[in-house]
Structure 1
Amino acid sequence: MRAARCAPASHTRAASAFATATALFAFLALAGHAAPVRAADLLQLYSEAQNRDALIASARSAYLANIEALPQARAALLPQITARWGTVNTHYGSGNISNTFGSSGYSLALTQPIFHWDSWQSYQQGKLTVASAEAAFAQAQQDLILRVATAYFDVLAAQDDLALAGTHKQAIAEQLASAKRNFEVGNATIVDANEAQASFDQATAQEIAAQNTLDVRRAAFARIVGHPVGSLATLRAGSTLPSPEPNNVADWVAQAEQSNYGVQLQTLTLEIARRETSKAKSGYLPSVDLVASGAHSNVGNANSLLTSAMSSPSSQGTGPSSAGQIGIQISIPIFSGGSVQSRMRQTLALEDKAQSDLDDARRLAVLGARTSYLGVSSGLAQVKALEAAEQSAQSSVASNKLGYQVGVRINADVLNAEDKLFTTRRDLAKARYSTLLSSLQLKASAATLVDTDLQLLNALLTENPDASAAMAGAREPAPADAGTGLPARGVRPGTTAPLRR
């Protein structure tokens, strides 16, 4: 009877647990439905990179270390104070006479530099070192903006390549299915089917390569932001790409030649080298110090510790004693074995090197400004041309498909048209991203790239993949027999889901 009563209870508990689990699953499903994961945008990932990127953290630590050069150099111009204390036990013996006594004492010495040319030049170098550290850190911050933007658009370009490769593969699969059907009914030769199969295999290889490129670029982006990168906001269709402002290459070149961070760093390096040459001349100059000292000692029956510390004539006696002195100390170098002349030759050679490095930095800045400006201007023109080419390629595909259906075109013509459309769309996506990056590089060459420039680019992004630039015109109406084609692989343009295997 007990067993019979227990069985319904166990069934009741199982049913209750099943109902609870079902309700929990439904709640989680609704919660996930109600709060979809938002795609990360450019500003969000840049903010994370500021806190997690190892290179910017290293640059920040280097900056904090280098700015300490100024207080260290200033210390050589400030008073130096030294305190000493000591105790001595002395044993004295002569013939039958033996004596043991103790002495103790302390002294305080102060040295105030009045004229040390090398210390003054080191102090000026400390100021220059701080300025150099600030410029280097500003350059590192600018480089972070470029690295984040480059990695971001590299991932978007790889996503577009994968999506376009999937679309291209699907179109080839439909053409392959059509060629096979026509061969089976005797309307085409086996050549058409073989050509379509070869194109399909090539499209499959392109899709695999695109997936690999996307995985690699995501890993590279994760190195910067410190975590795996999920879904990204994509470039909005119809976005107007920014033009350079001012739209004059001469203005950008002049700005880069003066303000580029590489030029700033080399200018500071040259000035530090000149200060080093001036510091080497101190080997010929005297140095002047204000010195002051005082001492106190308790002596038994011997020369006192005080007199030893003060370098004064010895005194005999017992008991405490005190003394002090103050004065000016002048040191004049006379001969140092030729080290001063050698040091001068060395610093002059380093000064010439710094001057040559500055000239090269200016030329490099000019080259970077010109290259980036041309990248923006030619990129804008290329985008317009490729947009027109995309429309033409779409018309070509439609015309060749119609011609193939009525028998005035062969299958190879359709496949070639599909290849041209795929290549044009891929080149168009790359041209858009390349133009955006060139606009950032142009500002970086003139040392004007700041966080707000990322905000302008971030305004061009959208979380809706159907509204992305890669989706614009990428989807065509499927033919009537599309359902009989081979299944497509890949993801839609603008999404980040992996391939379904």
Structure 2
Amino acid sequence: MTIRPIRRTLAAVAAVLALTPAAQADTLADALVGAYNTSGLLEQNRAVLRAADEDVAQAVSALRPVLSWSADITRDFGTSRGSNSLGAVARSASNTASVGLVAELTLYDFGQNRLAIDGAKVAVLATRQGLVSIEQQILLRAVTAFFEVRRATETVALRQNNLRLITQELRAAQDRFEVGEVTRTDVSLAEARLAQARANLAAAQGELRAAQEEYRVATGRTPGPLSQPSRVPDLPPDRNSAVAIALRGHPDLLQAQHLVRVAELSIARAEAAMKPTISLTGRLGVTEDFDNDSFSHGGSIGIESTGPIYQGGRLSSLVRQAMANRDEQRGNLHVVRLTIEQNVTNALIQLNVARASEDANADQVRAADVAFRGIREEATLGARTTLDVLNAEQELLDARAALISANVDEFIAAYRVLATMGRLTARDLGLNVQRYDPAAYYNLVKDAPAVSQQGQQLNRVLRALGKE
């Protein structure tokens, strides 16, 4: 596959576009930048990634000491009568306050917490690839919206030109009818084609408005004049090269690989949960009696070990479930790989079809244009009917419309090839944007900061993201 300049064979469309100053036209890069900067779907999935980053922080916190406190104020009261009180009723009341501090630290758990940290980290990598996949979807939608506006704009210009031509043909038919060269039938045929041309123009204008709305939603910009790119993006020379690139770096495949690793770590963690845990515990407590001077101060420190004996088969079930989830992710990896290969192949087929159609339609336009001019000239000499002229003009219109669509389809298919290869990203396209750094937030939270200078930096990051 090679880079090819875009052929502009439609003189009428080119004349319309030539009236638009180039400095005022939006480029495809402008559309892609707008999509990247304004997409709510991208922002949503960036938040999903930040939530996954926090899973790492929470897993890390399990290896640290856990400090907790408790406090209570208690009033005990009661009424009693005993045999030794000669039937007298005795009332009692006391007020005490207690404060306690408890510290716990896991010393050894056969790797449960370490496995949880590793699993959370790999899950972050999978979520990052999911974000890249969403980015590709957003940019491909912007590409499609851009070229659909181009298609609709050129189709409207073509329909307008067609309306002018049929109007001229109607006038010519009316003039020839007045001098007796044609019948009323010829005039009616021209009138019918004129009505059809007006309906087609209205439909094309409606499609243009719909395409402009899609462009606004996809890019966050109101479409004005759009500048046609000079060439399609550079692509690998053959299918095998494109598939090889996709299988090395497509975000969907990388995400599936990470998810397999997460599932494998989950099995090891489920097996470790069946083993004991050794912890260091410390307690400190103070109790004061408000009614007298009595008090008690004390504490304890010790090492304790806990482990399951029997939980009704729950732990074994969790291990089997983790294994089933691993098998599911392995199957998904196989499906994703095949899907990527198929998508690359289909995108290349669409591209080749569009290019072949463009070449054929360009030849058809040239031939139909010559035929139309010849038939119209023959009609002025009485050798052709009005219907012959209208049919020739319709064939020329259809050929021009097909050429416009083939040209648009070529561009969309080329960018779809990039997407199936995993190369339709802001970085690969070299977009002039401030790219989102997925590691910035992760680096601030991976060590589970609480109140620290790092925590203050995290607050600044959140404010910069507009989330606080």
Q: 1:174 to 1:85 in 2, by over 3 A?
A: same
Aligned mates of 1:340, 1:380 — CA distance in 2: 60
TM-score normalised according to structure 2 size:
0.79
Structure 1 position 455, deviation (Å): 6.8
Paired residue secondary structure (2:213): helix
Q: Which residue of 2 aligns with 1:251?
A: 241
Aligned mates of 2:410, 2:426 — CA distance in 1: 18
RMSD: 2.7
Q: Contact conserved, 1:393 with 1:420, CA < 8 A, in 2?
A: yes
Aligned mates of 2:39, 2:232 — CA distance in 1: 28
1:159 to 138, 153, 158: 153
Q: Contact conserved, 1:404 with 1:410, CA < 8 A, in 2?
A: yes
Q: 1:155 to 1:382 in 2, by over 3 A?
A: same
Q: Which residue of 2 aligns with 1:177?
A: 171
Q: How does 1:37-76 map to 2 (within 5 A)?
A: 38-76=24-62
Structure 1 position 159, deviation (Å): 0.8
Q: How does 1:114-129 map to 2 (within 5 A)?
A: 114-116=107-109, 117-129=111-123
Structure 1 position 185, deviation (Å): 0.9
Q: Contact conserved, 1:243 with 1:376, CA < 8 A, in 2?
A: no
Aligned mates of 2:338, 2:277 — CA distance in 1: 43
2:260 to 260, 266, 270: 270
Structure 1 position 99, deviation (Å): 4.7
Amino acid at match of 2:372: V
Amino acid at match of 1:165: R
Q: Contact conserved, 1:54 with 1:224, CA < 8 A, in 2?
A: no
Measured against aligned partners, the alpha-carbon deviations of 1:357-385 in whole angstroms (never above 9, x if no partner) come to 22111111111111222233333333233
Amino acid at match of 2:96: S
Structure 1 position 243, deviation (Å): 4.7
Paired residue secondary structure (2:74): strand
Does structure 1 residue 197 correspond to structure 2 residue 191? yes
Q: How does 1:16-415 map to 2 (within 5 A)?
A: 38-91=24-77, 95=82, 96=85, 99-116=92-109, 117-226=111-220, 229-235=222-228, 239-244=230-235, 246-299=236-289, 319-415=294-390
Q: Contact conserved, 2:26 with 2:227, CA < 8 A, in 1?
A: no
Structure 1 position 299, deviation (Å): 4.6
2:422 to 447, 452, 455: 447
Q: 1:199 to 1:401 in 2, by over 3 A?
A: same
TM-score normalised according to structure 1 size:
0.74
Q: 1:145 to 1:118 in 2, by over 3 A?
A: same
Structure 1 position 253, deviation (Å): 1.0
> Matched residues, percent identical?
23
Measured against aligned partners, the alpha-carbon deviations of 1:411-443 in whole angstroms (never above 9, x if no partner) come to 222222211211121111111222112222111
Structure 1 position 160, deviation (Å): 1.0
Aligned mates of 2:161, 2:260 — CA distance in 1: 57
Does structure 1 residue 423 correspond to structure 2 residue 398? yes
Measured against aligned partners, the alpha-carbon deviations of 1:422-474 in whole angstroms (never above 9, x if no partner) come to 11211111112221122221111121223366679xxxxxxxxxxxxxxxxxx
Aligned mates of 1:192, 1:432 — CA distance in 2: 35
Measured against aligned partners, the alpha-carbon deviations of 1:29-72 in whole angstroms (never above 9, x if no partner) come to xxxxxx99933333334333334333223223222223221112
How many residues end up aligned between the 2 structures?
403
Q: 1:240 to 1:446 in 2, by over 3 A?
A: closer
Aligned mates of 2:411, 2:280 — CA distance in 1: 63
Amino acid at match of 1:81: L
Aligned mates of 2:288, 2:38 — CA distance in 1: 62
Measured against aligned partners, the alpha-carbon deviations of 1:287-329 in whole angstroms (never above 9, x if no partner) come to 1212222223335799xxxxxxxxxxxxxxx634433332321
Q: 1:109 to 1:213 in 2, by over 3 A?
A: same
Q: Contact conserved, 1:257 with 1:363, CA < 8 A, in 2?
A: no
Structure 1 position 194, deviation (Å): 2.6
Greater displacement, 209-218 / 197-206: 197-206
Greater displacement, 196-205 / 41-50: 41-50
Q: 1:250 to 1:417 in 2, by over 3 A?
A: same
Paired residue secondary structure (2:422): coil
Q: Contact conserved, 2:266 with 2:322, CA < 8 A, in 1?
A: yes
Greater displacement, 255-264 / 71-80: 255-264
1:436 to 405, 411, 414: 411
Amino acid at match of 2:278: V
Measured against aligned partners, the alpha-carbon deviations of 1:199-258 in whole angstroms (never above 9, x if no partner) come to 22222221111011111111222223446x24222326xx444452x2121011122234
Q: 1:356 to 1:192 in 2, by over 3 A?
A: same
